[in-house]
Chains A and B, each alone.
Chain A
Protein backbone atom coordinates (compact mmCIF):
# COMPACT_ATOMS: atom_id res chain seq x y z
CA UNK A 1 0.00 0.00 0.00
CA UNK A 2 2.69 2.47 0.91
CA UNK A 3 4.50 2.82 -2.47
CA UNK A 4 1.15 3.59 -4.11
CA UNK A 5 0.47 6.40 -1.70
CA UNK A 6 3.85 7.97 -2.43
CA UNK A 7 3.20 8.20 -6.16
CA UNK A 8 -0.47 9.07 -5.76
CA UNK A 9 -0.17 12.59 -7.11
CA UNK A 10 1.88 11.62 -10.13
CA UNK A 11 -0.56 8.88 -10.97
CA UNK A 12 -3.48 11.24 -10.73
CA UNK A 13 -1.77 13.68 -13.05
CA UNK A 14 -1.07 10.96 -15.55
CA UNK A 15 -4.69 9.95 -15.29
CA UNK A 16 -5.70 13.51 -16.06
CA UNK A 17 -3.41 13.72 -19.09
CA UNK A 18 -4.78 10.47 -20.45
CA UNK A 19 -8.30 11.71 -19.93
CA UNK A 20 -7.53 14.96 -21.76
CA UNK A 21 -5.96 13.03 -24.60
CA UNK A 22 -9.07 10.92 -25.07
CA UNK A 23 -11.26 13.98 -24.75
CA UNK A 24 -9.24 15.59 -27.53
CA UNK A 25 -9.59 12.56 -29.78
CA UNK A 26 -13.34 12.46 -29.21
CA UNK A 27 -13.54 16.19 -29.81
CA UNK A 28 -11.69 15.88 -33.13
CA UNK A 29 -14.29 13.61 -34.68
CA UNK A 30 -17.16 15.65 -33.29
CA UNK A 31 -15.58 18.83 -34.63
CA UNK A 32 -15.16 17.23 -38.04
CA UNK A 33 -18.81 16.25 -38.15
CA UNK A 34 -19.82 19.71 -37.03
CA UNK A 35 -17.65 21.35 -39.70
CA UNK A 36 -19.05 19.11 -42.42
CA UNK A 37 -22.60 19.98 -41.37
CA UNK A 38 -21.71 23.66 -41.24
CA UNK A 39 -20.13 23.50 -44.68
CA UNK A 40 -23.22 21.77 -46.07
CA UNK A 41 -25.44 24.53 -44.79
CA UNK A 42 -23.16 27.36 -45.88
CA UNK A 43 -22.99 25.96 -49.42
CA UNK A 44 -26.62 24.88 -49.64
CA UNK A 45 -28.67 27.63 -48.07
CA UNK A 46 -28.03 30.31 -50.79
CA UNK A 47 -30.33 28.39 -53.18
CA UNK A 48 -33.26 29.47 -51.04
CA UNK A 49 -32.76 33.01 -52.31
CA UNK A 50 -33.74 31.63 -55.73
CA UNK A 51 -36.48 29.15 -54.80
CA UNK A 52 -38.57 28.88 -51.65
CA UNK A 53 -38.00 25.92 -49.33
CA UNK A 54 -41.42 24.45 -50.16
CA UNK A 55 -40.90 24.84 -53.94
CA UNK A 56 -37.55 23.15 -53.54
CA UNK A 57 -38.78 20.24 -51.46
CA UNK A 58 -42.15 19.78 -53.18
CA UNK A 59 -41.32 20.95 -56.70
CA UNK A 60 -41.87 18.21 -59.24
CA UNK A 61 -39.33 19.21 -61.89
CA UNK A 62 -35.57 19.11 -61.73
CA UNK A 63 -34.07 21.05 -64.65
CA UNK A 64 -31.13 22.76 -62.98
CA UNK A 65 -29.40 23.97 -66.15
CA UNK A 66 -32.43 25.24 -68.07
CA UNK A 67 -33.14 28.91 -68.44
CA UNK A 68 -35.22 29.54 -66.34
CA UNK A 69 -34.07 26.64 -64.17
CA UNK A 70 -36.40 24.39 -62.17
CA UNK A 71 -35.15 23.19 -58.81
CA UNK A 72 -37.72 20.71 -57.49
CA UNK A 73 -36.40 17.65 -55.70
CA UNK A 74 -39.69 16.01 -54.73
CA UNK A 75 -39.21 13.10 -57.19
CA UNK A 76 -35.69 12.58 -55.82
CA UNK A 77 -36.91 12.50 -52.22
CA UNK A 78 -39.67 10.04 -53.12
CA UNK A 79 -37.12 7.92 -54.97
CA UNK A 80 -34.81 7.83 -51.95
CA UNK A 81 -37.66 6.86 -49.65
CA UNK A 82 -38.94 4.25 -52.12
CA UNK A 83 -35.60 2.47 -52.60
CA UNK A 84 -35.00 2.51 -48.84
CA UNK A 85 -38.42 1.03 -48.05
CA UNK A 86 -38.36 -1.63 -50.75
CA UNK A 87 -34.82 -2.63 -49.86
CA UNK A 88 -35.73 -2.93 -46.20
CA UNK A 89 -38.69 -5.15 -47.06
CA UNK A 90 -36.07 -7.49 -48.51
CA UNK A 91 -33.22 -6.96 -46.08
CA UNK A 92 -35.03 -6.92 -42.71
CA UNK A 93 -36.45 -10.47 -42.83
CA UNK A 94 -33.25 -11.84 -44.36
CA UNK A 95 -30.96 -9.99 -41.98
CA UNK A 96 -32.90 -10.61 -38.78
CA UNK A 97 -33.69 -14.26 -39.52
CA UNK A 98 -30.07 -14.92 -40.44
CA UNK A 99 -29.03 -13.34 -37.16
CA UNK A 100 -31.52 -15.46 -35.18
CA UNK A 101 -30.30 -18.59 -36.93
CA UNK A 102 -26.65 -17.76 -36.36
CA UNK A 103 -27.17 -16.90 -32.70
CA UNK A 104 -29.59 -19.65 -31.75
CA UNK A 105 -30.04 -22.28 -34.42
CA UNK A 106 -26.68 -22.84 -36.01
CA UNK A 107 -24.12 -25.27 -34.71
CA UNK A 108 -20.76 -23.77 -33.83
CA UNK A 109 -19.26 -25.22 -36.99
CA UNK A 110 -21.87 -23.70 -39.31
CA UNK A 111 -21.69 -20.42 -37.49
CA UNK A 112 -17.95 -20.23 -37.93
CA UNK A 113 -18.42 -20.52 -41.69
CA UNK A 114 -21.56 -18.50 -42.30
CA UNK A 115 -20.84 -15.47 -40.13
CA UNK A 116 -17.62 -14.37 -41.89
CA UNK A 117 -19.28 -14.88 -45.27
CA UNK A 118 -22.20 -12.63 -44.32
CA UNK A 119 -19.74 -10.08 -43.04
CA UNK A 120 -17.75 -10.36 -46.26
CA UNK A 121 -20.82 -8.95 -48.03
CA UNK A 122 -20.18 -5.73 -46.12
CA UNK A 123 -16.64 -5.66 -47.45
CA UNK A 124 -17.73 -5.73 -51.09
CA UNK A 125 -17.10 -2.27 -52.55
CA UNK A 126 -20.36 -0.63 -53.59
CA UNK A 127 -19.11 -0.08 -57.12
CA UNK A 128 -18.74 -3.85 -57.49
CA UNK A 129 -22.31 -4.40 -56.34
CA UNK A 130 -23.45 -1.62 -58.65
CA UNK A 131 -21.61 -3.15 -61.59
CA UNK A 132 -23.11 -6.55 -60.82
CA UNK A 133 -26.59 -4.99 -60.76
CA UNK A 134 -26.02 -3.11 -63.98
CA UNK A 135 -24.38 -5.78 -66.09
CA UNK A 136 -25.90 -9.00 -64.76
CA UNK A 137 -29.11 -8.37 -62.82
CA UNK A 138 -30.58 -5.69 -65.09
CA UNK A 139 -30.62 -7.72 -68.34
CA UNK A 140 -31.94 -10.78 -66.47
CA UNK A 141 -34.77 -8.80 -64.83
CA UNK A 142 -35.63 -7.22 -68.16
CA UNK A 143 -35.72 -10.58 -69.90
CA UNK A 144 -37.69 -12.48 -67.26
CA UNK A 145 -40.25 -9.81 -66.42
CA UNK A 146 -40.44 -8.41 -69.96
CA UNK A 147 -40.12 -4.81 -68.75
CA UNK A 148 -38.66 -1.90 -70.74
CA UNK A 149 -35.54 -1.54 -68.59
CA UNK A 150 -33.82 -3.52 -65.86
CA UNK A 151 -32.32 -0.36 -64.38
CA UNK A 152 -35.14 0.47 -62.01
CA UNK A 153 -36.43 0.87 -58.48
CA UNK A 154 -36.59 -2.87 -57.85
CA UNK A 155 -33.07 -3.63 -59.05
CA UNK A 156 -31.62 -0.79 -56.98
CA UNK A 157 -33.54 -1.95 -53.91
CA UNK A 158 -32.26 -5.48 -54.38
CA UNK A 159 -28.65 -4.29 -54.56
CA UNK A 160 -29.13 -1.99 -51.56
CA UNK A 161 -30.62 -4.90 -49.62
CA UNK A 162 -27.40 -6.83 -50.28
CA UNK A 163 -25.51 -3.95 -48.75
CA UNK A 164 -27.65 -3.52 -45.65
CA UNK A 165 -28.05 -7.21 -44.79
CA UNK A 166 -24.57 -7.47 -43.19
CA UNK A 167 -25.22 -4.37 -41.06
CA UNK A 168 -28.63 -5.60 -39.95
CA UNK A 169 -27.43 -9.15 -39.44
CA UNK A 170 -24.32 -8.53 -37.39
CA UNK A 171 -25.88 -5.82 -35.18
CA UNK A 172 -28.99 -7.97 -34.60
CA UNK A 173 -26.83 -10.92 -33.75
CA UNK A 174 -24.97 -8.87 -31.16
CA UNK A 175 -28.32 -7.88 -29.65
CA UNK A 176 -29.52 -11.48 -29.56
CA UNK A 177 -26.26 -12.61 -28.05
CA UNK A 178 -26.63 -9.92 -25.42
CA UNK A 179 -29.82 -11.48 -24.03
CA UNK A 180 -28.94 -12.73 -20.55
CA UNK A 181 -28.51 -16.46 -20.49
CA UNK A 182 -30.65 -16.67 -17.33
CA UNK A 183 -33.71 -15.69 -19.36
CA UNK A 184 -33.14 -18.43 -21.85
CA UNK A 185 -32.44 -21.00 -19.16
CA UNK A 186 -35.50 -19.96 -17.16
CA UNK A 187 -37.71 -20.34 -20.21
CA UNK A 188 -36.29 -23.75 -21.03
CA UNK A 189 -36.61 -24.79 -17.37
CA UNK A 190 -40.29 -23.88 -17.44
CA UNK A 191 -40.76 -26.43 -20.18
CA UNK A 192 -40.78 -24.16 -23.24
CA UNK A 193 -39.30 -25.63 -26.41
CA UNK A 194 -36.31 -24.01 -28.06
CA UNK A 195 -38.55 -22.46 -30.72
CA UNK A 196 -40.95 -21.05 -28.10
CA UNK A 197 -37.99 -19.65 -26.21
CA UNK A 198 -36.70 -17.90 -29.34
CA UNK A 199 -40.09 -16.50 -30.33
CA UNK A 200 -41.40 -15.46 -26.90
CA UNK A 201 -38.30 -14.70 -24.87
CA UNK A 202 -35.14 -14.11 -26.85
CA UNK A 203 -36.68 -12.15 -29.70
CA UNK A 204 -38.73 -9.78 -27.46
CA UNK A 205 -35.75 -9.30 -25.17
CA UNK A 206 -33.50 -8.26 -28.05
CA UNK A 207 -36.10 -6.25 -29.98
CA UNK A 208 -34.58 -2.86 -29.20
CA UNK A 209 -31.19 -3.93 -30.47
CA UNK A 210 -32.78 -5.41 -33.58
CA UNK A 211 -34.70 -2.19 -34.23
CA UNK A 212 -31.49 -0.21 -33.96
CA UNK A 213 -29.83 -2.61 -36.39
CA UNK A 214 -32.69 -2.26 -38.85
CA UNK A 215 -32.69 1.52 -38.73
CA UNK A 216 -28.94 1.75 -39.16
CA UNK A 217 -29.24 -0.64 -42.09
CA UNK A 218 -31.93 1.57 -43.63
CA UNK A 219 -29.85 4.66 -43.14
CA UNK A 220 -27.00 2.95 -44.95
CA UNK A 221 -29.34 2.16 -47.83
CA UNK A 222 -30.58 5.72 -48.01
CA UNK A 223 -27.13 7.27 -48.10
CA UNK A 224 -25.58 4.77 -50.51
CA UNK A 225 -24.51 6.51 -53.70
CA UNK A 226 -22.66 4.37 -56.20
CA UNK A 227 -25.23 1.60 -56.38
CA UNK A 228 -28.17 3.89 -56.99
CA UNK A 229 -26.19 5.95 -59.47
CA UNK A 230 -25.41 2.86 -61.53
CA UNK A 231 -28.54 0.79 -61.11
CA UNK A 232 -31.59 2.93 -60.30
CA UNK A 233 -31.98 4.25 -63.84
CA UNK A 234 -31.96 7.92 -62.92
CA UNK A 235 -35.28 9.21 -64.23
CA UNK A 236 -36.27 12.21 -62.12
CA UNK A 237 -39.95 11.33 -61.85
CA UNK A 238 -42.25 9.89 -59.22
CA UNK A 239 -42.44 6.12 -59.78
CA UNK A 240 -45.83 4.50 -60.29
CA UNK A 241 -44.60 0.91 -60.16
CA UNK A 242 -41.72 -1.14 -58.77
CA UNK A 243 -40.18 -1.48 -62.19
CA UNK A 244 -39.80 2.14 -63.16
CA UNK A 245 -36.48 3.97 -63.14
CA UNK A 246 -35.95 6.45 -60.30
CA UNK A 247 -33.28 8.92 -59.25
CA UNK A 248 -32.52 8.97 -55.53
CA UNK A 249 -30.86 12.07 -54.05
CA UNK A 250 -27.29 10.73 -53.78
CA UNK A 251 -27.31 9.71 -57.46
CA UNK A 252 -28.31 13.18 -58.54
CA UNK A 253 -25.61 14.80 -56.42
CA UNK A 254 -22.90 12.43 -57.61
CA UNK A 255 -23.81 12.71 -61.27
CA UNK A 256 -24.07 16.48 -61.44
CA UNK A 257 -21.68 17.90 -58.85
CA UNK A 258 -18.50 17.41 -60.84
CA UNK A 259 -19.54 19.74 -63.62
CA UNK A 260 -21.83 22.18 -61.86
CA UNK A 261 -20.15 25.60 -62.06
CA UNK A 262 -18.67 26.60 -58.69
CA UNK A 263 -21.09 28.76 -56.64
CA UNK A 264 -23.79 28.66 -59.31
CA UNK A 265 -27.45 28.09 -58.43
CA UNK A 266 -27.07 24.50 -59.60
CA UNK A 267 -24.14 24.01 -57.20
CA UNK A 268 -26.12 25.47 -54.29
CA UNK A 269 -29.13 23.33 -55.19
CA UNK A 270 -27.02 20.16 -55.09
CA UNK A 271 -25.72 21.09 -51.64
CA UNK A 272 -29.27 21.82 -50.52
CA UNK A 273 -30.20 18.33 -51.74
CA UNK A 274 -27.35 17.04 -49.60
CA UNK A 275 -28.81 18.92 -46.62
CA UNK A 276 -32.13 17.14 -47.12
CA UNK A 277 -30.34 13.81 -47.36
CA UNK A 278 -28.32 14.63 -44.25
CA UNK A 279 -31.51 15.45 -42.33
CA UNK A 280 -33.01 12.11 -43.35
CA UNK A 281 -30.02 10.05 -42.22
CA UNK A 282 -29.71 12.17 -39.07
CA UNK A 283 -33.34 11.41 -38.27
CA UNK A 284 -32.72 7.70 -38.78
CA UNK A 285 -29.77 7.78 -36.41
CA UNK A 286 -31.60 9.78 -33.77
CA UNK A 287 -34.50 7.33 -33.89
CA UNK A 288 -32.12 4.39 -33.60
CA UNK A 289 -30.44 6.03 -30.61
CA UNK A 290 -33.82 6.73 -28.96
CA UNK A 291 -35.01 3.17 -29.36
CA UNK A 292 -31.84 1.65 -28.04
CA UNK A 293 -31.98 3.96 -25.01
CA UNK A 294 -35.63 3.67 -24.19
CA UNK A 295 -36.09 -0.05 -24.56
CA UNK A 296 -32.69 -1.15 -23.40
CA UNK A 297 -32.76 -4.51 -21.72
CA UNK A 298 -31.06 -3.96 -18.38
CA UNK A 299 -30.04 -7.19 -16.75
CA UNK A 300 -32.52 -10.04 -16.53
CA UNK A 301 -35.02 -8.34 -14.27
CA UNK A 302 -36.96 -5.97 -16.52
CA UNK A 303 -38.60 -8.27 -18.98
Chain B
Protein backbone atom coordinates (compact mmCIF):
# COMPACT_ATOMS: atom_id res chain seq x y z
CA UNK B 1 0.00 0.00 0.00
CA UNK B 2 2.70 2.38 1.05
CA UNK B 3 4.63 1.87 -2.18
CA UNK B 4 1.51 2.37 -4.23
CA UNK B 5 0.78 5.58 -2.38
CA UNK B 6 4.24 6.90 -3.07
CA UNK B 7 3.97 5.96 -6.73
CA UNK B 8 0.67 7.80 -7.06
CA UNK B 9 2.11 10.88 -5.36
CA UNK B 10 5.14 10.79 -7.61
CA UNK B 11 2.92 10.52 -10.64
CA UNK B 12 0.84 13.50 -9.57
CA UNK B 13 3.97 15.51 -8.85
CA UNK B 14 5.43 14.63 -12.24
CA UNK B 15 2.21 15.59 -13.99
CA UNK B 16 2.05 18.91 -12.18
CA UNK B 17 5.68 19.57 -12.98
CA UNK B 18 5.16 18.78 -16.64
CA UNK B 19 2.04 20.89 -16.73
CA UNK B 20 3.79 23.85 -15.14
CA UNK B 21 6.47 23.59 -17.82
CA UNK B 22 3.78 23.88 -20.45
CA UNK B 23 2.06 26.80 -18.77
CA UNK B 24 5.23 28.80 -18.54
CA UNK B 25 6.49 30.05 -21.89
CA UNK B 26 8.08 27.18 -23.75
CA UNK B 27 9.89 27.06 -27.06
CA UNK B 28 10.70 23.90 -28.99
CA UNK B 29 13.68 23.99 -31.34
CA UNK B 30 14.55 21.15 -33.70
CA UNK B 31 16.84 20.63 -36.65
CA UNK B 32 20.37 21.01 -37.94
CA UNK B 33 23.21 19.76 -35.79
CA UNK B 34 25.40 22.51 -37.31
CA UNK B 35 23.15 25.19 -35.82
CA UNK B 36 22.78 23.21 -32.58
CA UNK B 37 25.76 24.80 -30.76
CA UNK B 38 24.44 28.29 -31.56
CA UNK B 39 20.92 27.38 -30.43
CA UNK B 40 22.26 25.78 -27.25
CA UNK B 41 24.53 28.65 -26.26
CA UNK B 42 22.00 31.37 -26.97
CA UNK B 43 19.17 29.41 -25.34
CA UNK B 44 21.24 28.87 -22.20
CA UNK B 45 21.85 32.58 -21.78
CA UNK B 46 18.30 33.49 -22.78
CA UNK B 47 16.82 31.10 -20.19
CA UNK B 48 19.09 32.54 -17.51
CA UNK B 49 17.80 36.03 -18.28
CA UNK B 50 14.17 34.88 -18.68
CA UNK B 51 13.68 32.14 -16.08
CA UNK B 52 9.99 31.72 -16.94
CA UNK B 53 10.78 30.59 -20.49
CA UNK B 54 11.80 26.97 -21.08
CA UNK B 55 13.55 26.11 -24.34
CA UNK B 56 13.96 22.51 -25.40
CA UNK B 57 16.42 21.84 -28.18
CA UNK B 58 17.09 18.74 -30.21
CA UNK B 59 19.18 18.00 -33.29
CA UNK B 60 18.14 15.54 -35.93
CA UNK B 61 19.31 17.35 -39.04
CA UNK B 62 17.92 20.13 -41.19
CA UNK B 63 15.50 17.79 -42.96
CA UNK B 64 13.97 16.61 -39.71
CA UNK B 65 13.70 20.21 -38.52
CA UNK B 66 11.78 21.14 -41.65
CA UNK B 67 9.53 18.13 -41.25
CA UNK B 68 8.74 19.18 -37.69
CA UNK B 69 8.07 22.74 -38.88
CA UNK B 70 5.60 21.50 -41.48
CA UNK B 71 3.68 19.20 -39.14
CA UNK B 72 3.63 21.83 -36.42
CA UNK B 73 5.69 19.97 -33.80
CA UNK B 74 8.32 22.69 -33.43
CA UNK B 75 8.38 26.46 -32.88
CA UNK B 76 11.74 26.95 -34.56
CA UNK B 77 13.45 24.75 -37.15
CA UNK B 78 17.24 25.06 -37.33
CA UNK B 79 18.60 24.57 -40.80
CA UNK B 80 22.03 24.65 -42.40
CA UNK B 81 20.45 25.18 -45.83
CA UNK B 82 17.62 27.23 -47.30
CA UNK B 83 14.18 25.60 -47.42
CA UNK B 84 13.54 23.48 -50.52
CA UNK B 85 10.73 24.23 -52.96
CA UNK B 86 9.04 20.97 -52.17
CA UNK B 87 9.06 21.72 -48.46
CA UNK B 88 7.53 25.17 -49.06
CA UNK B 89 4.64 23.72 -51.04
CA UNK B 90 4.08 20.99 -48.41
CA UNK B 91 4.04 23.65 -45.70
CA UNK B 92 1.67 25.95 -47.55
CA UNK B 93 -0.69 23.02 -48.13
CA UNK B 94 -0.89 22.65 -44.35
CA UNK B 95 -1.36 26.39 -43.88
CA UNK B 96 2.16 26.99 -42.56
CA UNK B 97 4.17 29.87 -44.00
CA UNK B 98 7.85 29.29 -43.17
CA UNK B 99 9.77 32.47 -42.36
CA UNK B 100 13.58 32.31 -42.59
CA UNK B 101 15.97 34.14 -40.27
CA UNK B 102 19.68 33.98 -41.08
CA UNK B 103 21.39 33.66 -37.70
CA UNK B 104 25.06 33.11 -38.60
CA UNK B 105 27.50 32.07 -41.31
CA UNK B 106 29.62 28.98 -41.40
CA UNK B 107 33.08 29.45 -42.94
CA UNK B 108 35.43 26.49 -43.40
CA UNK B 109 39.14 27.08 -43.93
CA UNK B 110 41.64 24.51 -45.27
CA UNK B 111 44.68 24.43 -42.99
CA UNK B 112 48.22 23.04 -43.32
CA UNK B 113 51.31 22.84 -41.12
CA UNK B 114 52.99 26.26 -40.65
CA UNK B 115 56.16 24.93 -42.33
CA UNK B 116 54.28 24.24 -45.57
CA UNK B 117 55.18 27.01 -48.10
CA UNK B 118 51.83 26.79 -49.93
CA UNK B 119 49.63 29.87 -49.40
CA UNK B 120 46.91 29.45 -51.98
CA UNK B 121 44.94 26.47 -53.23
CA UNK B 122 42.16 26.13 -55.77
CA UNK B 123 38.84 24.39 -55.26
CA UNK B 124 39.83 21.85 -57.94
CA UNK B 125 43.09 21.05 -56.15
CA UNK B 126 41.25 20.62 -52.84
CA UNK B 127 38.85 18.22 -54.48
CA UNK B 128 41.68 16.19 -56.04
CA UNK B 129 43.48 16.03 -52.70
CA UNK B 130 40.40 14.82 -50.87
CA UNK B 131 39.63 12.28 -53.60
CA UNK B 132 43.10 10.85 -53.07
CA UNK B 133 44.34 11.84 -56.54
CA UNK B 134 47.07 14.19 -55.33
CA UNK B 135 49.47 12.12 -53.25
CA UNK B 136 52.45 14.48 -53.07
CA UNK B 137 52.60 18.19 -52.34
CA UNK B 138 54.91 18.72 -55.34
CA UNK B 139 51.99 17.88 -57.66
CA UNK B 140 50.45 21.19 -56.65
CA UNK B 141 53.75 23.12 -56.56
CA UNK B 142 54.50 22.35 -52.96
CA UNK B 143 57.52 20.64 -51.38
CA UNK B 144 58.37 17.01 -52.22
CA UNK B 145 56.56 15.31 -49.36
CA UNK B 146 53.49 13.05 -49.12
CA UNK B 147 50.05 14.56 -48.53
CA UNK B 148 48.27 13.36 -45.40
CA UNK B 149 44.58 14.12 -45.77
CA UNK B 150 42.61 14.77 -42.60
CA UNK B 151 38.84 14.83 -42.70
CA UNK B 152 35.98 14.93 -40.21
CA UNK B 153 33.54 12.26 -39.10
CA UNK B 154 30.77 12.02 -41.65
CA UNK B 155 28.00 13.13 -39.33
CA UNK B 156 29.51 16.53 -38.58
CA UNK B 157 28.14 19.72 -40.10
CA UNK B 158 31.65 20.79 -41.07
CA UNK B 159 32.02 17.62 -43.15
CA UNK B 160 28.63 18.33 -44.68
CA UNK B 161 29.74 21.78 -45.94
CA UNK B 162 33.02 20.37 -47.20
CA UNK B 163 31.31 17.52 -48.96
CA UNK B 164 28.86 19.83 -50.66
CA UNK B 165 31.03 22.82 -51.53
CA UNK B 166 34.38 21.16 -52.25
CA UNK B 167 33.69 17.54 -53.11
CA UNK B 168 30.58 18.27 -55.19
CA UNK B 169 29.10 14.79 -54.68
CA UNK B 170 32.40 12.94 -55.02
CA UNK B 171 33.42 10.85 -52.02
CA UNK B 172 36.29 11.72 -49.72
CA UNK B 173 38.64 8.76 -50.32
CA UNK B 174 38.80 6.09 -47.59
CA UNK B 175 42.49 6.76 -46.89
CA UNK B 176 41.67 10.14 -45.32
CA UNK B 177 42.35 10.32 -41.59
CA UNK B 178 39.37 10.98 -39.38
CA UNK B 179 39.27 13.35 -36.45
CA UNK B 180 36.14 13.87 -34.39
CA UNK B 181 36.28 17.62 -33.76
CA UNK B 182 37.60 20.92 -35.08
CA UNK B 183 40.08 20.99 -32.21
CA UNK B 184 41.38 17.49 -32.99
CA UNK B 185 41.90 18.35 -36.67
CA UNK B 186 43.81 21.47 -35.74
CA UNK B 187 45.93 19.48 -33.26
CA UNK B 188 46.69 16.75 -35.83
CA UNK B 189 47.64 19.28 -38.52
CA UNK B 190 49.84 21.23 -36.11
CA UNK B 191 51.79 18.04 -35.36
CA UNK B 192 52.31 16.85 -38.95
CA UNK B 193 54.18 18.74 -41.66
CA UNK B 194 52.50 16.64 -44.39
CA UNK B 195 48.95 17.22 -43.27
CA UNK B 196 46.02 19.15 -44.66
CA UNK B 197 42.73 19.51 -42.85
CA UNK B 198 39.73 21.83 -42.68
CA UNK B 199 38.25 23.63 -39.70
CA UNK B 200 35.71 26.31 -38.87
CA UNK B 201 37.11 29.84 -39.06
CA UNK B 202 36.78 30.25 -35.30
CA UNK B 203 39.25 27.43 -34.70
CA UNK B 204 42.14 28.70 -36.86
CA UNK B 205 45.06 29.60 -34.60
CA UNK B 206 48.80 30.21 -34.88
CA UNK B 207 49.66 26.49 -34.72
CA UNK B 208 48.20 25.90 -38.17
CA UNK B 209 48.29 27.88 -41.39
CA UNK B 210 45.01 28.78 -43.07
CA UNK B 211 45.15 28.64 -46.88
CA UNK B 212 43.60 31.07 -49.31
CA UNK B 213 41.05 29.39 -51.55
CA UNK B 214 41.00 30.64 -55.14
CA UNK B 215 43.16 33.53 -53.87
CA UNK B 216 40.61 34.60 -51.29
CA UNK B 217 41.38 34.31 -47.61
CA UNK B 218 38.57 33.00 -45.42
CA UNK B 219 37.47 35.70 -42.98
CA UNK B 220 34.33 37.20 -41.55
CA UNK B 221 34.48 39.86 -44.24
CA UNK B 222 34.89 37.58 -47.28
CA UNK B 223 32.23 35.28 -45.86
CA UNK B 224 29.73 38.11 -45.44
CA UNK B 225 30.35 39.60 -48.92
CA UNK B 226 30.00 36.14 -50.45
CA UNK B 227 33.40 35.96 -52.18
CA UNK B 228 34.83 33.13 -50.06
CA UNK B 229 33.65 29.87 -51.65
CA UNK B 230 33.46 27.47 -48.67
CA UNK B 231 30.80 29.15 -46.59
CA UNK B 232 27.07 29.14 -46.13
CA UNK B 233 24.40 30.93 -44.13
CA UNK B 234 22.68 29.14 -41.25
CA UNK B 235 18.98 29.65 -40.61
CA UNK B 236 16.23 29.44 -38.07
CA UNK B 237 12.77 29.00 -39.64
CA UNK B 238 9.52 29.80 -37.88
CA UNK B 239 6.00 28.77 -38.92
CA UNK B 240 4.56 32.17 -39.86
CA UNK B 241 5.91 35.45 -38.48
CA UNK B 242 6.97 34.68 -34.89
CA UNK B 243 5.02 35.99 -31.91
CA UNK B 244 5.56 36.26 -28.17
CA UNK B 245 8.41 34.26 -26.69
CA UNK B 246 9.57 32.93 -30.05
CA UNK B 247 9.87 36.45 -31.44
CA UNK B 248 11.77 37.56 -28.35
CA UNK B 249 14.15 34.64 -28.66
CA UNK B 250 14.81 35.22 -32.38
CA UNK B 251 15.42 38.91 -31.68
CA UNK B 252 17.83 37.89 -28.94
CA UNK B 253 19.73 35.56 -31.29
CA UNK B 254 20.18 38.10 -34.09
CA UNK B 255 20.96 41.01 -31.77
CA UNK B 256 24.63 41.95 -32.34
CA UNK B 257 25.02 42.87 -28.67
CA UNK B 258 23.46 39.65 -27.36
CA UNK B 259 23.05 36.39 -29.29
CA UNK B 260 25.60 37.19 -31.99
CA UNK B 261 28.37 37.32 -29.38
CA UNK B 262 27.73 33.63 -28.66
CA UNK B 263 27.71 32.84 -32.39
CA UNK B 264 31.35 33.86 -32.54
CA UNK B 265 32.05 31.91 -29.36
CA UNK B 266 30.62 28.77 -30.94
CA UNK B 267 33.10 29.12 -33.82
CA UNK B 268 30.82 30.63 -36.46
CA UNK B 269 30.79 33.98 -38.26
CA UNK B 270 28.30 36.48 -36.79
CA UNK B 271 25.93 38.30 -39.11
CA UNK B 272 27.47 41.73 -38.64
CA distance A245 to B155 in the complex (A): 20
Interface string of A203-229 (1 = CB under 8 A from B): 000000000000000000000000001
What bracket does the count of chain B residues touching chain A fall in?
20 to 34
A136 CB, min distance to chain B CBs, angstroms: 9
Instruction: Let me know if A233 and B177 touch, CB within 8 A.
Output: yes
CA distance A233 to B159 in the complex (A): 17
Q: Which residues of B contact A264 (CB under 8 A)?
A: 61
CA distance A268 to B33 in the complex (A): 18
Interface string of A5-43 (1 = CB under 8 A from B): 000000000000000000000000000000000000000
CA distance A93 to B22 in the complex (A): 63
Interface string of B163-197 (1 = CB under 8 A from A): 10000000100111111100010011001101100
Q: Known contacts A149-B177, A236-B174, A256-B155; decide if A261 and B60 are in contact (CB<8 Å).
A: yes
CA distance A265 to B176 in the complex (A): 23
Q: Which residues of A contact B174 (CB under 8 A)?
A: 61-62, 75, 235-237
A291 CB, min distance to chain B CBs, angstroms: 36
CA distance A118 to B175 in the complex (A): 36
For B60, B156, B178, the residue with the greatest tally of chain A CB atoms inside 10 Å of its CB is B178
The secondary-structure label for the interface of chain A is loop
Cβ-defined partner of B176 (8 Å) among A61, A134, A142, A235: A235
Q: Known contacts A65-B154, A234-B177, A234-B178; decide if A261 and B191 are in contact (CB<8 Å).
A: no
Asked if B148 lies at the interface with its beta carbon under 8 angstroms from chain A, I say yes
Asked if B226 lies at the interface with its beta carbon under 8 angstroms from chain A, I say no
Q: Which residues of A contact B61 (CB under 8 A)?
A: 261, 264
Instruction: Let me know if A139 and B175 touch, CB within 8 A.
Output: no
Asked if A135 lies at the interface with its beta carbon under 8 angstroms from chain B, I say yes
CA distance A260 to B192 in the complex (A): 29
For B64, B153, B157, B159, the residue with the greatest tally of chain A CB atoms inside 10 Å of its CB is B153
List A138-180 residues whose CB lies under 8 Å from chain B.
138-139, 142, 148-151
Interface string of B147-161 (1 = CB under 8 A from A): 110000111110110
Instruction: Let me know if B179 and A142 touch, CB within 8 A.
Output: no
Q: Known contacts A139-B192, A148-B194; decide if A261 and B176 are in contact (CB<8 Å).
A: no
CA distance A167 to B157 in the complex (A): 39
What bracket does the count of chain A residues touching chain B fall in?
35 or more
CA distance A218 to B234 in the complex (A): 46
Cβ-defined partner of A64 (8 Å) among B60, B154, B175, B184: B154
B111 CB, min distance to chain A CBs, angstroms: 15
CA distance A135 to B157 in the complex (A): 26
Looking across the interface, which residue of chain A has its beta carbon closest to that of B171? A63
CA distance A138 to B188 in the complex (A): 9
Interface string of A256-267 (1 = CB under 8 A from B): 101111101010
Instruction: Let me know if B177 and A245 touch, CB within 8 A.
Output: yes
A259 CB, min distance to chain B CBs, angstroms: 4
Cβ-defined partner of A149 (8 Å) among B59, B155, B159, B192: B192
Contact residues of A with B, CB < 8 Å? Answer: 61-66, 75, 134-135, 138-139, 142, 148-151, 229-230, 233-237, 245, 247, 251, 254-256, 258-262, 264, 266
Contact residues of B with A, CB < 8 Å? Answer: 33, 59-61, 64, 146-148, 153-157, 159-160, 163, 171, 174-180, 184, 187-188, 191-192, 194-195
